[in-house]
């Protein structure tokens, strides 16, 4: 954790890491979700995120409680089960200058909220959407969720007979423009992905396997810490390179459709909308996240072979966001006042005249 | 209930007298045949002649083929309620023709296509047969338009038989098509041909006459949904999210039509965003998110949509987020009668959400009030930081009504207790603190900040879970109760501020009528009729829930109270019995709920029955 290194230090906004914390967590000690909250705090501190411009949104679940535990100076909305995407849609429509960070669970997103999740991505609502995926419903005491693998067993609920829903696959098919998978035990990668997602313009989905220590941490569950530690295969090391910092020579262009395998240590630079780059230094299997076909094929393989691959799975040049498509004024709608909100009396009189 | 009409309404009988500007038409066609244009043309033409007129569409839940009826009431006295009987039918649908003429009174009129070669089964009515096909055939009309244009034949014949000038028809058509010459000409040529054919071939035998008046001067004609959309646009709506459902769809359609009112002339960009959601849960979710972030946000829906919205309605109530929800009510339970009117969502909407939830509901009784509540709803929602429901209905929302031109909002936009950066600074300087749900003014309404407020203490945590007045999660009973008591205080304050009922009261009258919404024209008419027979009534028209204190007085000051409403269970009567402190055994519920707009006849029969006269 970054705490030790930063004691007493301040970031670009003159704030300490402490200033980015929220209330004390009330989750079970060791819950994977807490470690994700910590990475959010670290990243926000590192990049000098202005908390007053951030909104934290969530549904219902242990995971959805976590916005209370980070960024205490940000407005938050802990809404209802599975419906956070619609709240995010409305809030970002009302004020497009806000940075929206959503936290959801695999139940919240993959079951009750699957419809809203997909429609949010289809509309390209600009936000970071984090799924804290533990394969169970933590808050209702350990029922299977839709991301539990077929064949998995739980003490009380027995065997899960149904295939898992892969939320990254759903995200890509649904139209998300940034899709990643990570592991809450892999703090460094979570941070790198969060940084990249925050820089992205559009829906950025990060599906983070986040063990539920109380209901689903048996080593033979593929959502457990032990399993994750033993089996995680990172695709690449991820680093965000700010605009203007990329040495010319390093930009190698690979046609994703005809990509030949590239050597370990070789890298892919993904250019983002504002000139920032995501540097992906290969450490695992070949993968170019700029190819939808590759991304889907990779996830298909992941499902067949039960692989725990992590990293940036899919990236797409940002499409217009929902707001871009609506042709509304540049000033956030929430800030419009007086005359802009009410047409003049003459406009009404003219209209009435035309109806007589 | 029978279909006989109020005595004076059918004074025609066999007396041979001329009947001027006081009768009803019914046009029977097939759904999807485009008859709406023809019917609206007649309504608009009559309106232009200065004659009070009201058109009602009684249509099936179907896109094409099923029978549909349109009634047009002409009333020199200005009555606009639906009558259960008509004197003239245009039967252009062979499927229903036999049924359509059964209820015609003796001396009534049936206008029908000549090519049917129909057996005229009634000798006591007048038939006018018109060559529809032959008239249309003279013109070069694209096949896909032919059916719609055929309906213009009856427009021409009606115009001739009842002295509507061709010129007025032309103007009405021009209004219909926004002055576009091509469709106007295509339709008008058929009207003209039918008119001339009627002049040459029909001998007028009936006693009904239209004569110009000057009773519509300065008035407009509009549907309640269009009025509501305009009201919202003048009320500063900035986010609308919706999911299509009859009969609310035309409200949002009208917002799209009139969106230009909210276009920034410099940039050409809009100050309102309209989003079609994937369902009603998402629609209300979006406006809850938008309302929370500071937008004036609304949705429009009907029964099934309201059902889906209940969880979010409870959240918005408890988390205190301003939103406006229009329920253009249709007939339930369930999918019910999707294209029929009802006032059956009162109890459900008033208490929408689990737990101890209740909402402010506005109930417009005219298109003018649809406009007014269109903007006022936002002010109330933001003032009280709570959802405001507007209960309109299909009759009001989708039918054309005469109205006074809308009055420009009489009050400035009220954004309620919102602390921006500077205000928050001052607040904290003065009070040493700011907590989201603390009742600083003892009115139950606390101060909110909007996301994005650039102040380190502006943030708070919004949640549907139990919270104390600092917006911090709490399961303590005392915190819970304290919060609920504040919410109750807020609601009690709203009682004094919501639109007051319209009351016509005279001490000394023993009968009080209570009604609301689109029943108003029928109640007004029945009061006149009863008064003519010596039965004097007072009248209170509710315009909002919760009930304002003067409603209590009205109820308790009468010997007999009749609550007239268009639902099956007498829902408003239940609200009155529940809320009025005192003996309410003298409240009698007159609840109809048959899917059709309220008629004076039905109210009359029922009151007479109880009054024993
Ligand atoms: C409409 C509704 N149905 C059911 C619930 C009960 N419920 C609360 S949390 C939850 C599941 C949460 O699972 P997940 O999103 O995976 O979160 P986790 O607790 O595992 O982090 C359920 C079913 C609810 N709050 N609302
Ligand atoms: S039940 Fe599981 S998910 Fe919930 S807090 Fe405990 S460990 Fe975390
Ligand atoms: Mg879970």
pLDDT mean for each 10 residues of chain B (613 residues): 38 68 96 91 97 93 88 96 94 93 95 94 96 96 93 98 98 93 96 98 97 96 97 98 98 98 96 98 98 98 98 98 98 96 98 98 98 98 98 97 97 97 98 98 98 97 98 97 98 97 96 98 97 97 96 96 98 97 96 96 96 77
Interface test with B, best of A21, A64, A86, A174 (most B CBs within 10 A): A86
Overall residue count recorded for chain A in this entry = 356
Q: What is the mean pLDDT of chain A?
A: 92
* Span A245-302, pLDDT tens digits: 765 544 444 444 444 445 556 889 999 988 899 999 999 999 999 999 999 999 999 9
Nearest to B72 by CA among B113, B102, B41, B101: B41
Domain-located, residue B409: no
Strands B67-75 and B53-58: antiparallel
Contact B219 A356 (CB under 8 A): yes
Do A333 and B450 make contact, defined as CB atoms within 8 angstroms?
Answer: no
Give the count of beta carbons closer than 10 Å to the beta carbon of residue B479: 18
Backbone angles phi, psi at A168, to 5 degrees: -70, -40
Q: Do residues B340 and B293 share a domain?
A: yes
pLDDT of residue B419: 98
φ and ψ of B127, to 5 deg? -105, 135
Q: Are B315 and B458 members of one domain?
A: no
Same domain flag for B363 and B437? no
Q: How many residues does chain B have?
A: 613
Which member of B262, B269, B294 has the closest CB to residue A343? B262
Q: What are phi and psi of A11, to 5 degrees?
A: -100, -170
How many independent structural domains does chain B possess?
Answer: 4
Pocket lining for ligand 1, CB < 6 angstroms: A 60-63, 81, 105-108, 132, 134, 136-140, 145, 212
A145, two tokens: 């969720």
Q: Are residues B39 and B172 in the same domain?
A: yes
Q: How confident is the model at residue A2 (pLDDT cuts 50, 70, 90)?
A: very low
Do the domain assignments include residue B414? Answer: no
Reduced to 3 states (helix: H, G, I; strand: E, B; else coil), residue A355 is: helix
Q: Which residues of A touch B222 (CB under 8 A)?
A: 355
Same structural domain, B195 and B229? no
User: Does the bond joining B247 to the residue before it have cis omega, within 30 degrees of 0?
Assistant: yes
> DSSP letters along A322-354, please?
HHHHTTB-SS-GGG--HHHHS--HHHHHHHHHH
Q: What is the pLDDT of residues A87-108, one digit of tens each?
A: 999 999 999 999 999 999 999 9
How many angstroms is it from A142 CA to the middle of ligand 2?
Answer: 9
Q: Which overall architecture, per CATH, does domain A17-236+285-325 show? A: 3-Layer(aba) Sandwich (3.40)
Nearest to A313 by CA among A169, A198, A184, A211: A169
**Cross-strand pairs, B330:** B341
Per-residue pLDDT, A247: 54
From the CB of residue B128, how many other CB atoms can be counted at a distance below 10 Å? Answer: 23
Which ligand 2 atom is nearest residue A213's CA?
A: 7
Answer whether B140's CB lies under 8 Å from B182's CB. no
How far is the first Cα of chain B from the last one, in angstroms, to the nearest whole number? 18
A13 to chain B, any CB pair closer than 8 A? The answer is no
Q: How far apart are CA B596 and CA B589, in angstroms?
A: 18
Domain match, B254 and B394 both: yes
Which residues constitute the domain of residue B244? 222-403
Do B433 and B467 share a domain, yes or no? yes
For the CA of A108, the nearest ligand: 1
Residues B475 and B578 in one domain: no
Domain ranges of chain A: 17-236+285-325
Locate the chain B residue with the closest alpha carbon to A112: B281
Q: For residue B245, give the nearest of B307, B295, B297, B291 by alpha carbon.
A: B307
Q: What CATH number does the domain containing B272 carry?
A: 3.40.50.970
If asked whether residues B125 and B174 sit together in one domain, one would say yes
Q: In this predicted structure, what is the pLDDT of residue A274? A: 87
Do B367 and B434 fall into the same domain?
A: no
Contact predicate B371/B396, CB 8 Å: no
Q: Residue B424 region, left (φ>0) first, then alpha (ψ -120 to 50), else beta?
A: alpha
Ligand 2, residues A104, A108, A143, A212: which to mutate, most atoms within 8 A of Cβ?
Answer: A212
Asked if B506 and B490 sit in the same domain, the reply is: no
Q: Is A6:A19 a contact under the CB 8 Å cutoff?
A: no
In chain A, residues 60-99 whose CB comes closer than 8 Å to chain B? 67-68, 72-80, 83, 85-95, 97-98
Does the beta carbon of A352 lie under 8 angstroms from any beta carbon of chain B? yes
Q: In this structure, is residue B242 part of a structural domain?
A: yes
Assembly ipTM: 0.95
* Residues B141 and B112 reside in one and the same domain: yes
* Rounded Cα–Cα distance for residues A208 and B521 (Å): 61
CATH number at residue B592: 3.40.50.920
Q: Chain B: residue nearest A81 by CA? A: B311
Mutual orientation of helices A32-47 and A187-199 as an angle, nearest 10°?
A: 50
The atom number, within ligand 2, closest to the CA of A65 reads 5
B416, part of any domain = no
Ligand approaching nearest to the C-alpha of A64? 1
Spell out where B236-322 has E strands.
Answer: 239-242, 273-276, 297-301
Residue whose entry in the numeric block shows the structure tokens 């005359």: A339
Amino acid A265: pLDDT: 63
Does residue B214 fall inside a structural domain? no
Looking at residue B65, its pLDDT comes to 85
Residue A258: the pLDDT is: 43
């Amino acid at each position: 954790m970054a705490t030790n290194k930063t004691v007493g230090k301040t970031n670009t906004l003159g704030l300490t890491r402490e200033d980015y914390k929220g209330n004390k967590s009330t989750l079970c000690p060791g819950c994977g979700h807490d470690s994700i909250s910590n990475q959010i705090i670290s990243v926000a501190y590192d990049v000098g995120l202005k908390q007053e411009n951030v909104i934290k949104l969530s549904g219902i679940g242990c995971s959805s409680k976590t916005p209370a535990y980070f960024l205490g100076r940000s407005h938050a909305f802990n809404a209802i089960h599975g419906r956070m995407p619609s709240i995010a849609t409305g809030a970002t429509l009302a004020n497009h200058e806000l940075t929206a960070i959503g936290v959801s669970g695999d139940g919240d997103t993959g079951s009750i909220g699957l419809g809203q999740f997909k429609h949010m991505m289809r509309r390209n609502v600009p936000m970071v959407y984090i799924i804290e995926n533990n394969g169970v419903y933590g808050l209702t005491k350990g029922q299977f969720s839709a991301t539990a693998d077929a064949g998995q067993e739980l003490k009380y609920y027995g065997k899960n007979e149904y295939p898992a829903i892969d939320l990254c696959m759903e995200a890509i098919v649904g139209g998300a423009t940034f899709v990643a998978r990570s592991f809450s035990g892999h703090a460094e990668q979570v941070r790198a992905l969060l940084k990249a997602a925050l820089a992205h313009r559009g829906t950025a989905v990060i599906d983070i396997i986040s063990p539920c220590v109380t209901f689903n941490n048996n080593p033979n569950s593929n959502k457990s810490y032990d399993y994750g530690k033993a089996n995680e295969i990172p695709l690449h090391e991820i680093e965000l390179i700010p605009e203007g910092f990329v040495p010319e020579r390093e930009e190698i262009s690979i046609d994703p459709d005809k990509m030949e395998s590239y050597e370990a240590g070789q890298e892919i630079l993904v250019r983002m909308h504002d000139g920032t780059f995501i540097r992906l230094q290969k450490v695992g299997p070949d993968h170019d996240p700029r190819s939808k076909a590759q991304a889907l094929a990779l996830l298909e393989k992941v499902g067949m072979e039960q692989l725990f691959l992590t990293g940036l799975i899919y990236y797409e040049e940002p499409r217009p966001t929902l707001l871009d498509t609506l042709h509304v004024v540049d000033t956030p709608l929430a800030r419009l006042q007086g005359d802009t909100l009410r047409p003049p009396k003459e406009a009404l009189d003219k209209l009435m005249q035309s109806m007589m | 209930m029978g279909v006989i009409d109020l005595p004076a309404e059918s004074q025609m009988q066999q007396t041979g007298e001329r009947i001027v500007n006081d009768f009803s038409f019914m046009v029977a066609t097939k759904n999807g045949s485009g008859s709406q244009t023809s019917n609206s043309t007649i309504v608009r033409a009559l309106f232009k002649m200065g004659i009070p007129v009201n058109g009602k569409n009684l249509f099936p839940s179907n896109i094409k083929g099923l029978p549909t009826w349109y009634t047009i009431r002409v009333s020199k006295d200005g009555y606009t309620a639906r009558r259960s009987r008509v004197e003239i039918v245009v039967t252009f649908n062979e499927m229903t023709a036999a049924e359509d003429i059964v209820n015609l009174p003796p001396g009534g009129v049936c206008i029908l296509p000549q090519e049917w070669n129909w057996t005229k089964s009634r000798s006591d009515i007048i038939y006018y047969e018109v060559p529809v096909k032959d008239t249309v055939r003279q013109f070069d009309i694209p096949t896909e338009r032919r059916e719609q244009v055929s309906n213009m034949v009856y427009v021409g014949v009606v115009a001739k038989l009842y002295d509507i000038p061709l010129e007025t028809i032309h103007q009405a058509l021009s209004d219909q098509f926004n002055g576009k010459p091509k469709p106007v000409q295509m339709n008008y040529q058929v009207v003209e041909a039918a008119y001339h054919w009627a002049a040459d071939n029909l001998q007028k035998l009936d006693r009904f006459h239209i004569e110009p008046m000057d009773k519509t001067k300065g008035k407009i004609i509009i549907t309640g949904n269009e009025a509501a959309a305009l009201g919202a646009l003048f009320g500063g709506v900035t986010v609308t999210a919706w999911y299509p459902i009859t009969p609310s769809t035309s409200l949002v359609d009208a917002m799209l039509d009139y969106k230009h009112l909210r276009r920034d002339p410099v940039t050409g960009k809009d100050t309102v965003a309209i989003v079609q959601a994937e369902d009603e849960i998402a629609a209300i979710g979006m406006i809850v998110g938008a309302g929370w972030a500071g937008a004036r946000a609304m949705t429009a829906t009907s029964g099934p949509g309201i059902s889906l919205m209940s969880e979010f309605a409870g959240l918005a109530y408890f988390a205190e987020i301003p939103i406006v929800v229009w329920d253009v009510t249709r007939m339930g339970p369930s999918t019910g009668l999707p294209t029929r009117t009802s006032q059956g969502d009162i109890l459900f909407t008033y208490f929408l959400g689990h737990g101890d939830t209740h909402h402010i509901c506005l109930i417009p009784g005219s298109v003018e009030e649809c406009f007014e509540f269109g903007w006022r709803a936002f002010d109330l929602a933001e003032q009280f930081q709570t959802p405001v429901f507007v209960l309109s209905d299909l009759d009001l929302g989708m039918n054309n009504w005469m109205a006074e031109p809308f009055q420009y909002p009489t009050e400035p936009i009220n954004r309620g207790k919102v602390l921006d950066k500077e205000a928050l600074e001052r607040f904290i300087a003065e009070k040493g603190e700011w907590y989201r749900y603390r009742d600083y003014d003892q009115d139950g309404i606390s101060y909110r900040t909007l996301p994005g407020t650039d102040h380190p203490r502006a943030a708070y945590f919004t949640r549907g879970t139990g919270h104390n007045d600092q917006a911090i999660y709490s399961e303590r009973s005392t915190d819970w109760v304290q919060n609920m008591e504040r919410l109750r205080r807020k609601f009690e304050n709203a009682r004094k501020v919501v639109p007051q009922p319209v009351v016509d009261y005279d001490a000394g009258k023993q009968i009080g009528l209570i009604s609301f919404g689109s029943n108003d024209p029928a109640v007004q008419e029945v009061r006149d009729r009863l008064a003519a027979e010596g039965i004097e009534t007072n009248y209170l028209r509710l315009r909002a829930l919760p009930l304002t204190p003067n409603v209590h007085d009205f109820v308790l000051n009468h010997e007999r109270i009749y609550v007239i409403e268009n639902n099956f269970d007498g829902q408003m009567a239940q609200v009155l019995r529940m809320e009025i402190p005192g003996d309410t055994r003298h409240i009698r519920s007159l609840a109809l709920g048959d899917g059709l707009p309220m008629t004076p006849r039905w109210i009359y029969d029922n009151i007479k029955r109880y009054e024993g006269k």
